[in-house]
Amino acid sequence: MSQRDPIIIEKNQEDLKNDAKIRELWMKNICDHDKYAKFKIKETYDFIIVGAGTAGCVLARELIHGIPNINILVLEAGGPNAHSNGLISLPCTWFQVFQLYDHDWGYVTQEQKMKSHVNPIKEAAVKNGIPYPRGKVWGGCSSLNAMIYLRGQAKQYNDWAAQGPEYKIWDWDHCLEAFKVLENNLRENPDEKFKQLHGFNGLHHVQDCGVYDILSGLVDAAKNLGIPYNDDFNGERQNGVGIYQFTNGEGKRCSLADCYLRDALKKVEFHPGSEPNGFGKVVAVDIRSYAHVLEIIWDEENKKENVAIGVRYFCNGTVREAFIAPKGEVIICSGAINSPQILMLSGVGPKENLEANNIKVRKELPVGRNLLDHPSCLFSAKSTSEKIRHWSSGSEVGIIHKANVEGKIPCKEDFFDENPDIQIIAMLLRPCLEPSVDDSFDGIGLLSVLNIPSSVGYLELNSNNPFDQPRIHLNYFEKPEDLYRIISSLKLSREIIKQPPLSTVYNVKEIGINDEFGQWITNGDDLSDEDWEKLVFEKSNTTFHPSGTVKMAPESKGGVVNHRLQVYGTKNLRVIDASIFPYIPSGNTNAPTAMVAWKASRLIIEDYMKKNQKLLILRSSVI
């Protein structure tokens, strides 16, 4: 057992009794609190944002600066991102942070049984119960992610835009503009091409960082195999081997809470009628931590139209309500797992699952049906020791390539393909990545990530209890080509480590594959396709990019929100976060989510101004 492992002691009957007593007291206190609270305060805001994650932070800042004299309530189920002894801001501790129970929703995926693709008479199973971390803290997942800055290829955004003429606002050119506005790229001496494609005045810091020696050896090894060097994965082409840029500033994590939310909180307004002498000044964005939103409140007098008028939430042991002003909106930014859950708990979702959980259906929509993610599989290798420990996340090098759909080693042309579908994230190996190694192990891991998957999963409610986890069905590798593409990339990883200087200077050796008897098969050259499949299914993991569960598409094509991110069949209600991606970007999803939020803020501001004008015209016609 390593020193870091917690000591687990089973609770005895006495402990359990004490726990129950404390729970009872707590419940009694809640009831008393409600009994003594004689007045129900009606909180009213122009906008209510549910979730201070990547999208929520950008929206809060953009709306408060874009519309004069408004107030915004941000409800966040987690706490401030400063409550972690600095662990969140240190890039090198990101692996610890997403395992901190306090900051993670702690989701786990459902068992996935299927037929083997290689030998269909055999049953196969993708690893059971994959931990599925989601940030529960200011900044959401941007406070615990690996900080890799990738936007993905133009193609996926152009596919978003191809869904109809009104979707044109989501094509690559429009999205690129938003990426640039958000970005403050700190690259030293950028060339002209880099200057054209990046932003330098946004609030979101993006930085180059140093590279471990062994990982720069990996860059050379990949070049030896004919993989071209790429000095900007967000440049004109995505393919090649190169060093990532990170969402860091001055060596520290730059979450969206650090840049966008913090800036939003600086904005002050005056209470109407107060003198501008400092008295009556209020912060225009009110962020409430540990506030878990339970459901949307609908206007019951206007049942047919499903008008959202506020939200019900749980905070400090009581259920509270917050409402929106007449021109306001409820904006759900709770991420790809929780946004669909909130919609379903509020009666918007698939009829069957809602009725099975005793929820009245207000609007039938395929909420939760389009769960997209990037499955991945780790290939591990041992090396001579790499003692240098500097302040980095340890995953600095990427190799982006096209896979072979038959599972063969990619050929030279695949390295130059304009639409690569695999990203290999090269990292220093850690025990939490490869359970069979301990702290004294020095090695590297090559994580093959399927950037353009064909298989689609879904999620559904487990119960109507808002504190219960939804059931997450990943459906990884349901389509055979997904499996073969990952196998192809793993085979490429084996070839890379055979190249100098990895094989010579760093003495890198494949550590073998764990067979069903727990033995190491040290030479995988003669692995059959069946062995490869077994290996992939057993070792597959998430790259933490769930999205698509509240799909932006025409309603007739399985959409839940329209091109302006308004929920079909409702009023005053939008969903803005990674859940709206109709197709998953071919890269990590933080920057794309921030981009979606920035563009959505422009749509909201436009609609708000229009409503305001209508009101002014109405008023003047009355006068």
Binding residues for FAD, as ranges, are 137, 293
Q: How far is CA 422 from the centre of its chain?
A: 18
Is residue 77 near ligand FAD by the rule CB under 6 A?
A: yes
CB of 372 or CB of 497, closer to ligand FAD: 372
Q: How far is CA 112 from CA 285, 308, 510, 557, in A?
A: 43, 37, 29, 26
**Interface region with ligand FAD, contact rule CB under 6 A, candidates 138-146, 191-199, 271-279, 373-381:** 138-146
| Per-residue tokens: 145 | 């992610």
Q: Is residue 233 near ligand FAD by the rule CB under 6 A?
A: no
Q: Which CB, 288 or 571, lies closer to ligand FAD?
A: 288
CA angle 232, 376, 592 (to 5 degrees): 45
- Residue span binding ligand FAD (CB under 6 A) among the ranges 45-53, 116-124, 189-197, 455-463: 45-53
- Number of residues counted as binding ligand FAD (CB under 6 A): 43
- Residue by residue, DSSP assigns 471-523 as EEE--TT-SHHHHHHHHHHHHHHHHHHTSTTTTTTS--EE--EE-TTS-EE--
The three-state secondary structure class of 69 is: coil
Q: Does 84 bind ligand FAD (CB under 6 A)?
A: no
Rounded-to-integer distance, Cα 610 and Cα 614, Å: 6
Choosing from 163, 338, 370, 404, the residue that interacts with ligand FAD (CB under 6 A) is 338
What interhelical angle do 529-539 and 480-497 show, nearest 10? Answer: 90
- Which residues make beta-bridge pairs with 310? 297, 323
Q: Which of 62, 71, 91, 136 binds ligand FAD (CB under 6 A)?
A: 136
Measured from the CB atom, is 130 or 487 closer to ligand FAD? 130
Q: Considering beta carbons, is residue 218 or 291 the nearer one to ligand FAD?
A: 291
Q: Does 133 bind ligand FAD (CB under 6 A)?
A: yes
Near ligand FAD by CB under 6 A, which window of 403-411, 437-445, 481-489, 589-597?
589-597
Residue in the structure block whose two tokens are 């499955």: 375
Distances (CA, A) of 562 to 81, 157, 297, 349: 32, 15, 21, 15
Site string for ligand FAD, 560-579 (x = CB under 6 A): -----------------xx-
Interface pick for ligand FAD out of 46, 62, 76, 510 (rule CB under 6 A): 76
153 contributes a contact to ligand FAD by CB under 6 A: no
Nearer to ligand FAD, 306 or 589 (CB): 589
368 makes contact with ligand FAD (CB under 6 A): no
Q: How far apart are CA 64 and CA 284, in angstroms?
A: 7
* Binding of residue 144 to ligand FAD (CB under 6 A): yes
Closest to ligand FAD by CB, 240 or 592: 592
Interface with ligand FAD includes 103 (CB under 6 A)?
no
Q: Enumerate the β-bridge partners of residue 43.
A: 322
The secondary structure element, H or E, covering residue 213 is helix 213-224
**Cβ proximity of 575 and 560 under 8 Å:** yes
The Cα–Cα gap between 501 and 216 comes to: 9
Q: Does 134 bind ligand FAD (CB under 6 A)?
A: yes
Q: Which is nearer to ligand FAD, 423 or 570 (CB)?
A: 423
At closest approach, how far in Å is the CB of 50 from ligand FAD?
5
Residue the block writes with tokens 């499996």: 483
By beta-carbon proximity to ligand FAD, the closer residue of 350 and 587 is 587
Q: Which residue has the CB atom at the shortest distance from ligand FAD?
A: 53
340 binds ligand FAD (CB under 6 A): no
Binding span for ligand FAD by CB under 6 A among 49-57, 193-201, 217-225, 346-354: 49-57
Please list, in sequence order, all residues whose beta carbon lies within 8 angstroms of the beta carbon of residue 266, skipping any fewer than 6 positions away.
Answer: none
Measure the CA–CA gap between 73 and 315, rounded to whole angstroms: 14
Binding-residue pattern over the window 539 to 558 for ligand FAD, x denoting contact by CB under 6 A: -----xx-------------
Stretch that binds ligand FAD, among 129-137, 469-477, 486-494, 562-570 (CB under 6 A): 129-137
Which residue bears the tokens 């002691």? 9
Give the whole-angstrom CA distance, residue 169 versus residue 602.
Answer: 11
Task: Report the nearest approach of ligand FAD to the CB of residue 135 (Å).
Answer: 5
By CB under 6 A, tell whether 135 contacts ligand FAD.
Answer: yes
**Residue 297 is a binding residue for ligand FAD (CB under 6 A):** no
CA nearest 580: which of 602, 560, 554?
A: 560
The DSSP bridge pattern shows strands 363-364 and 72-75 to be unpaired
Q: Which of 73, 161, 342, 378 binds ligand FAD (CB under 6 A)?
A: 342
Rounded CA-CA distance 221/229 in Å is: 11
Return the SS3 of 260: helix
Length of the chain: 623
Pairing of the two strands 204-208 and 183-185: parallel
Residue numbering of the annotated binding site: 137, 293
Indicate the SS3 state at residue 354: helix
Q: How many CB atoms lie within 10 A of CB 430?
A: 15
- Angle at CA 27, nearest 5°, toward 21 and 32? 125
Rg (alpha carbons) of the chain, rounded to whole number: 25
Shortest distance, position 294 Cβ to ligand FAD, whole Å: 7
Q: Which of 591, 595, 600, 604 binds ligand FAD (CB under 6 A)?
A: 591
Asked if 588 touches ligand FAD (CB under 6 A), the answer is yes
Report if residue 459 touches ligand FAD, rule: CB under 6 A.
no
CB of 74 to ligand FAD, least distance (A): 9
Estimate the crossing angle of helix 172-182 against helix 590-622, to 10 degrees: 100
Question: Least Å distance between CB 598 and ligand FAD?
Answer: 12
Q: Residue 581, interface with ligand FAD (CB under 6 A)?
A: no
148 contributes a contact to ligand FAD by CB under 6 A? yes
| Residue 145 is a binding residue for ligand FAD (CB under 6 A) | yes
CB of 55 to ligand FAD, least distance (A): 4
Residue from the set 63, 254, 293, 492 that interacts with ligand FAD by CB under 6 A = 293
Q: Which residues bind ligand FAD (CB under 6 A)?
A: 50-56, 75-78, 98, 133-136, 140-142, 144-148, 150, 291-293, 333-336, 338, 342, 544-545, 577-578, 588-591, 593
